[in-house]
Amino acid sequence: MCKLARRSVAFPAATPSRLKMPLNQWLPARYLASFTWPIPSQHVERRDGITYYNKSRRVDAPFIATVSQDGRWVIASFTRNTGNVWSNPELTCQHVDPQAALLPGKEAILETKILIVRGSLDKVFKMAMQQRDSLEQ
């Protein structure tokens, strides 16, 4: 099961309605949760052969994590700021793509950090939030 921010959010793959759905109707998919971007009014969209599931509320932080099946390991990605966090459950990827507005000819440094930790989701979330302000935005 994957978690988004501090409050757990089951990906649609774990919901009762999804369990009744044939796999070819579910994948490929993207699961998105806004951090600073507006929440889309459509919670399920089909674009370019991909189903996009938009979470109905914002996440608490620019943080996304996957907990191992045995609950011992957490892989988390975070950044200082992002529009949204998202995952492709088919590939188990995590996105917290940072963003910056730039004038022509200007430069920016954007950082994303990945933690691979043996420990709880709460422990990893606290580690990420302690390190977040040190990242370039």
**C-alpha dist (Å) from residue 109 to 30, 66, 113, 120, 124:** 27, 26, 13, 30, 24
* Segments making up each domain of the chain, as ranges: 2-132
CA distance 79 to 97: 7
CA distance 28 to 47: 11
pTM comes to: 0.76
Q: What are phi and psi of 62, to 5 degrees?
A: -80, 75
pLDDT of residue 117 exceeding 50, the answer is: yes
Dihedral angle of Cα 10, 16, 19, 22, to the nearest 10 degrees: -110
Summarize the confidence of residues 58-74 as an average pLDDT. Answer: 92
N-to-C CA span, the chain: 29
Which of 6-20, 67-81, 100-114 has the lowest average pLDDT? 6-20
